[in-house]
Amino acid sequence: MQPQYALVAGCVLLLSLAWGGSRPVLAQVASDEPAMAIEESEETIETPGQAEEELERQFSLQEPGISGLVIDRTVTMTGRTFYRQFSQLSLERPVLNNVVLTVHERPSARWGSQVWITRDNNRVVYQATMSPRLSDIDGYVQAAVEQVENLVIRQTLTEALADDPDLADEEL
C-alpha cells in the first residue's frame, strides 16, 4: 500500500468506525488507480471519544519535528561540496540545529564562486569568494561554520535583550 493511501485510509476508517460503522471502508486518493480495501485492526473503536483519542495520538503535534534546516541553492560541484561539508559540520553544532539557513552560490569562470549563507529572513551571515579548487573548501567550511555560529548566538542574544514591543523585528 502506498503511503498516501495509508494516511487517507486510516483517517477514513477511524471516522467511519466512530460514526457507527462496523465494516472496513474503501479509500482512494484522486487518481486513476483502483480503490484499496483497508483491513480492520484488531482493536475496534466503539465510541466517538475513542476515535478522537486515536486520531490525536496518531497526529500529535507534541512530537518534535524539523527544528533546523540547511537549504541548498548551489550550482557547481564546488558549491555542492561546500554545501555538503557545511551541512555535516552544522549538524555537530547545537546552536545551528534550530536555525533555517540557505547556502547560495553565484559561479564565475574567472573568479571562482561567490558563496553566501542567509538566515531565516534573508540576512546574510557569511559571504566568501572561493577558488574552483576543491582542496581549498575545507578552510572555507570551517570559517563559515564558526562565523555563522557566532552570528546566530549574537543575534539571538540581541533579540532576547532588546525586547521592545513597540519595535518590529526589522526596525531594530
Number of domains observed in the structure of the chain:
2
Give the model's confidence band at 38: pLDDT under 50 very low, under 70 low, under 90 confident, else very high.
very low
Q: Are residues 80 and 139 in the same domain?
A: yes
Q: How far apart are CA 126 and CA 57, in angstroms?
A: 42
**pLDDT score of 161:** 83
Identify the residue with better confidence: 97 or 80: 80
In the predicted model, what is the mean pLDDT of the chain?
75
Which of 29, 58, 87 marks a domain boundary? 58
Dmax over CA atoms of the chain, in Å, equals: 71
Residue 130 lies in a domain: yes
Average of pLDDT values for 44-48? 66
pTM of the model: 0.59
CATH number at residue 117: 3.30.160
In the predicted structure, residue 101 carries a pLDDT above the cut 70: yes
Residue 76 lies in a domain: yes
Helix axis angle for 3-18 and 48-58, nearest 10°, is 160
Range of the domain at 91: 69-161
Highest mean pLDDT among 12-16, 21-25, 90-94, 163-167: 90-94
Count of C-beta atoms within a 10 Å radius of residue 1? 10
Q: How far apart are CA 92 and CA 114, in angstroms?
A: 25
Residue 37 lies in a domain: yes
Report the percent of the chain where pLDDT is more than 90: 38
In the predicted structure, residue 104 carries a pLDDT above the cut 60: yes
**pLDDT score of 109:** 86
Identify the residue with better confidence: 140 or 51: 140
Average of pLDDT values for 159-172? 67
